[in-house]
Structure 1
Amino acid sequence: MVEVMNKMGYDAAAIGNHEFDFKVDTLNKRLQQMNFPLLSANIVEKGTENIPAFAKPYIIKEAAGIKIGIIGLSSLSTPHTTFPDYVADYEFTPYDEAIDKYAPMAQNEGAEIIIIIGHICKNEMEGLVNTAKKYDIPLIGGGHCHQTVLETVDNVLLVQSGAEMRAYVKVQLQYHGSGKSAEIISTEVVQNQGGTPDTEVQAIVGYWQTKTQEALSEEIGYCSESIGESSVAMSNLVCDSWLQTFPDADVSITNSGGIRQDIDQGTINLATIVGLLPFQNTIYELDLTGTELIDCIDNYLIGGMTTIGGYSLADGTQIYADTVYSVLTTDYLYSADGDFSKYDPEPDNTSVNYRQPLIDMIKSLNTNSQNPLNNYLDNTRRR
Structure 2
Amino acid sequence: MTGNKTMNHSSDAITNEAGSEELNYQILVTSDIHGSIYPTDYRTSDEQQRGLAKLATLIRRERLRHPGGLLLDNGDSLQGTPLCSYFVKYRKEEMHPAIEVMNRLGYDAAVPGNHEFNYGPEVLRQAVEQSTFPWLSAGIVEAGSGEPAFGKPYIMKTTGEGIRVAILGVTTHYIPNWENPRHIADWAFRDALETVKVWVPRIREEEQPDLLIVSYHGGFECDLDTGEPSERLTGENQGSAICREVPGIDVLITGHQHRLIAGEVDGVTVVQPGCNGQALGKLVVQFQRRQDKWIITGKTAELLIPGVDVPADEQVLEWIAPMETGTQIWLDQSIGRIDGDMSISSPVLCRLADHPFMEFVNRVQMEAAGVDISNAALLSEQSGGFQGSVTMRDVLTNFMYPNTLTVLRLTGRDIRAALEQTANYFVVGESGQVAVNPQYMEPKPQHYNYDMWEGIEYELAVDRPAGERVVKLNYHGIPLADEAEVDVVMNNYRAGGGGDYEMYRGKPIIREIQQDMAELVADYVVRTGTIAARCDQNWQVTVQGVGVIW
- TM-score band by shorter chain is 0.7 to 0.9
Cα 1:213–1:229 shift into 2, 3 Å: farther
**Bigger Rg, which one:** 2
Cα 1:377–1:151 shift into 2, 3 Å: farther
Give 1:210 shift: 1.1
- Cα distance in structure 2, aligned partners of 1:357 and 1:233: 26
**Matches for 1:62-77 after TM superposition, within 5 Å:** 62-65=158-161, 66-77=163-174
- Cα distance in structure 2, aligned partners of 1:264 and 1:253: 19
- Cα distance in structure 2, aligned partners of 1:130 and 1:344: 39
Corresponding residue for residue 197 of structure 1: 312
- Whichever residue aligns with residue 332 of structure 2, its letter is S
Corresponding residue for residue 242 of structure 1: 362
Cα 1:244–1:185 shift into 2, 3 Å: closer
Moved more, 101-110 or 73-82: 101-110
- Whichever residue aligns with residue 302 of structure 1, its letter is M
CA-to-aligned-CA distance 1:33-55 (integer Å, 9 cap, x gap): 11111111222344865322x24
Per the normalisation by structure 2, the TM-score is: 0.58
- Whichever residue aligns with residue 351 of structure 2, its letter is V
Maintained 8 Å contact 1:147/1:162: yes
Maintained 8 Å contact 1:242/1:357: no
Give 1:29 shift: 0.5
Corresponding residue for residue 277 of structure 1: 399
Corresponding residue for residue 47 of structure 2: none
Maintained 8 Å contact 1:171/1:186: yes
Q: 1:154 and 2:266 equivalent?
A: yes
Corresponding residue for residue 166 of structure 1: 278
- Whichever residue aligns with residue 106 of structure 2, its letter is G
- Cα distance in structure 2, aligned partners of 1:287 and 1:192: 48
Moved more, 175-184 or 66-75: 175-184
Corresponding residue for residue 125 of structure 2: 28
- The match for 1:19 among 116, 121, 125 is 116
- The match for 1:263 among 380, 383, 398 is 383
- Whichever residue aligns with residue 140 of structure 1, its letter is L
- Whichever residue aligns with residue 451 of structure 2, its letter is L
Cα 1:33–1:321 shift into 2, 3 Å: same
Per the normalisation by structure 1, the TM-score is: 0.80
Corresponding residue for residue 29 of structure 2: none
CA-to-aligned-CA distance 1:158-213 (integer Å, 9 cap, x gap): 11111111111112212223253223454321112232332210113332221212
- Cα distance in structure 1, aligned partners of 2:354 and 2:171: 30
Cα 1:183–1:205 shift into 2, 3 Å: farther
CA-to-aligned-CA distance 1:341-376 (integer Å, 9 cap, x gap): 85534x234555323554467776959xxx9x7x97
RMSD: 3.7
Q: 1:126 and 2:240 equivalent?
A: yes
Q: 1:57 and 2:133 equivalent?
A: no
Q: 1:213 and 2:328 equivalent?
A: yes
- Cα distance in structure 1, aligned partners of 2:148 and 2:354: 39
Larger relative helix fraction: 1
Moved more, 15-24 or 224-233: 224-233
Maintained 8 Å contact 2:365/2:405: no
- Cα distance in structure 2, aligned partners of 1:143 and 1:40: 14
- Cα distance in structure 2, aligned partners of 1:142 and 1:230: 34
Give 1:244 shift: 5.1
CA-to-aligned-CA distance 1:127-176 (integer Å, 9 cap, x gap): 222445x32x3211100111111112333211111111111111221222
**Matches for 1:1-383 after TM superposition, within 5 Å:** 1-46=98-143, 49-52=146-149, 54-65=150-161, 66-88=163-185, 89-105=187-203, 108-109=206-207, 111-123=209-221, 124-132=238-246, 134-135=247-248, 137-178=249-290, 180-184=294-298, 186-194=300-308, 195-219=310-334, 220=336, 226-228=345-347, 231-232=350-351, 237-238=357-358, 240-243=360-363, 246=366, 249-254=371-376, 259-260=379-380, 262-264=382-384, 269-286=391-408, 288-291=410-413, 293-294=415-416, 299=422, 301-304=451-454, 305=456, 306-308=458-460, 309-313=471-475, 316-321=477-482, 323-335=484-496, 342-345=506-509, 347-356=510-519, 358-359=521-522, 381=540
The runs of 5 or more residues in structure 1 that have no matched partner are none
Maintained 8 Å contact 1:241/1:357: no
- Cα distance in structure 1, aligned partners of 2:478 and 2:115: 40
Moved more, 149-158 or 272-281: 272-281
Cα 1:170–1:81 shift into 2, 3 Å: same
Name the SS of the counterpart of 2:269 in structure 1: strand
Give 1:284 shift: 3.7
Cα 1:377–1:321 shift into 2, 3 Å: closer
Maintained 8 Å contact 2:279/2:306: yes
Cα 1:336–1:290 shift into 2, 3 Å: closer
CA-to-aligned-CA distance 1:264-321 (integer Å, 9 cap, x gap): 49875313322332343333445545345445665461322225322114x6432234
Give 1:68 shift: 1.1
- Whichever residue aligns with residue 153 of structure 2, its letter is P
- Cα distance in structure 2, aligned partners of 1:97 and 1:344: 32
Cα 1:3–1:100 shift into 2, 3 Å: same
- Cα distance in structure 1, aligned partners of 2:354 and 2:295: 52
